[in-house]
Amino acid sequence: MIKGLRIFFRLRKRKLYKKANSLSSRRSSSKNKNYLKYKEQARVLVKERLDYYNNFYNYKWGKVAIRNQKTRWGSCSKRGNLNFNYKIVLLSSKQADYIIVHEICHLQEFNHSQVFWDLVSKTVPDYKEVRHSLHMNSLRLG
Ligand SMILES: [Zn+2]
């Protein structure tokens, strides 16, 4: 009786383990599906808003990449390549614009100094509020 129960639990444990594994792989493939689904949309949005704000800033960038990043909304490399998270299409236009402007300003100021924030505030005067609303979720800006 006890032996039977033990085998029963062992079998059950193995099944649960398998189930957990298949759930996590299903979850990661749905993440990739979202990336594929929104990537081109994000690219169109990012290019359009980059051009729009760069009418004001007039800086030069290298490549623009849309990435499936876990921790970042965007980043700017020392060579002036810009990366954006595809999830930018899921944000409000205010939040998306702030991310675009933030990275554009890094082309000029590669830091978060007051000079940098002054540049940001020229086109997004309420950047502090928008920044705060973005901090509500776990992604950061580079
Ligand atoms: Zn930054």
Residue 125 lies in a domain: yes
Which CATH number is 65's domain given?
Answer: 3.30.2010.10
Q: Is the pLDDT of residue 62 over 90?
A: yes
Reference 37, options 90, 92, 1, 95; nearest CA is: 90
Tally of structural domains, the chain: 1
Predicted local distance difference test score (pLDDT) of residue 83: 97
pTM of the model: 0.77
Residue 67 vs residue 12, higher pLDDT: 67
Q: Which of 26-30, 95-99, 112-116 has the lowest mean pLDDT?
A: 26-30
Residue 6 has pLDDT above 90, yes or no: no
| Residue 29 three-state SS | helix
Q: Give CA–CA dist 12/112, Å, rounded.
A: 53
CA of 41 to the centre of ligand 1 (A): 23
Q: Is residue 116 part of a domain?
A: yes
Rounded to the nearest angstrom, the distance between the alpha carbon of 111 and the centre of ligand 1 is 7
- Segment (H or E) for 72: strand 72-76
Range of the domain at 120: 38-141
Q: What pLDDT is stored for residue 87 in this prediction? A: 94
Q: Does residue 121 lie within any of the structural domains?
A: yes
More confident site: 110 or 20: 110
Distance from the alpha carbon of residue 78 to the mean position of ligand 1, in angstroms: 12
Structural contact between residues 65 and 46, judged by C-beta atoms closer than 8 angstroms: no
